Amino acid sequence: MYRTHTCGQLRISDAGQKVTLAGWVQKARKLGGMTFIDLRDRYGITQLVTEEDPGVGREWVIQVTGEVVERQSKNSKMPTGDIEVKIEKVNVLNKAQTPPFTIEEVSDGGEDIRAKYRYLDLRRAPLQRALALRHRLAQEIRTYLDAQGFMEIETPYLIKSTPEGARDFVVPSRMNPGEFYALPQSPQTFKQLLMVAGYDRYFQIVRCFRDEDLRADRQPEFTQIDCEMSFVEQEDVLNTFEGMMRAMFKNALGVDIPNPLPRMSWYDAMDSYGSDKPDVRFGMKIHEIGDIVKGNGFSVFDGSEYIGAIAVPGCSEYTRKQLDELTEWVKRPQVGAKGLVYIKVNADGSIKSSIDKFYTPEQLQKVADCVGAKSGDLIFVMCGPKRKTQTQLGVLRIEMGGRLGLRDPKVFAPLWIVDFPLLEWDDETRRFYAMHHPFTAPKPEHEKWFYSDRKEDLERVCANAYDFVLNGTELGGGSIRIHNADMQSRMFEVLGISKEDAEYKFGFIINAFKFGAPPHGGLAFGFDRVCALFGGQETIRDYIAFPKNNQGRDVMIESPSRIDKEQMDELFLQSTVK
Ligand code: ASP
CA-angle at 376, arms to 374 and 380, nearest 5°: 80
User: Cα-flanking dihedrals φ and ψ of residue 156, to 5°?
Assistant: -70, 155
Q: Is 474 in the pocket of ligand 1 (CB under 6 A)?
A: no
Which ligand 1 atom minimizes the distance to the CA of 187? 1
In which residue ranges of the chain is pLDDT below 70?
216
Closest residue CA from atom 1 of ligand 1: 188
User: Which of 531, 562, 483, 504 shows the shortest CA–CA distance to 192?
Assistant: 483
For 540, residues 6+ apart whose C-beta sits below 8 A from its C-beta are 216, 217, 218, 219, 222, 528, 529, 531, 532, 547
Tell me what pLDDT residue 216 has.
Answer: 63
DSSP string spanning 269-311? HHHHHSSSS--TTS----EE-HHHHTTSS-HHHHT-SEEEEEE
Distance 131 CA to ligand 1 centre (A): 24
pLDDT of residue 303: 95
Our measurement of the distance from residue 468's CA atom to the centroid of its chain's CA atoms, rounded to an integer in Å, reads 11
pLDDT at residue 213 in the model: 83
Cα 192 from Cα 202, distance rounded (Å): 10
- 485 close to 515: Cβ distance less than 8 angstroms: no
What are the angstrom distances between the C-alpha of 390 and each of 102, 381, 383, 496?
A: 46, 10, 9, 29
Decide whether any atom of ligand 1 lies within 6 Å of the 308 Cβ. no
Span from the CA of 179 to the centroid of ligand 1 (angstroms): 26
The C-alpha atoms of residue 217 and residue 67 are separated, in whole angstroms, by 47
477 lines ligand 1 (CB under 6 A): yes
The whole-angstrom separation of Cα 250 and Cα 229 is 24
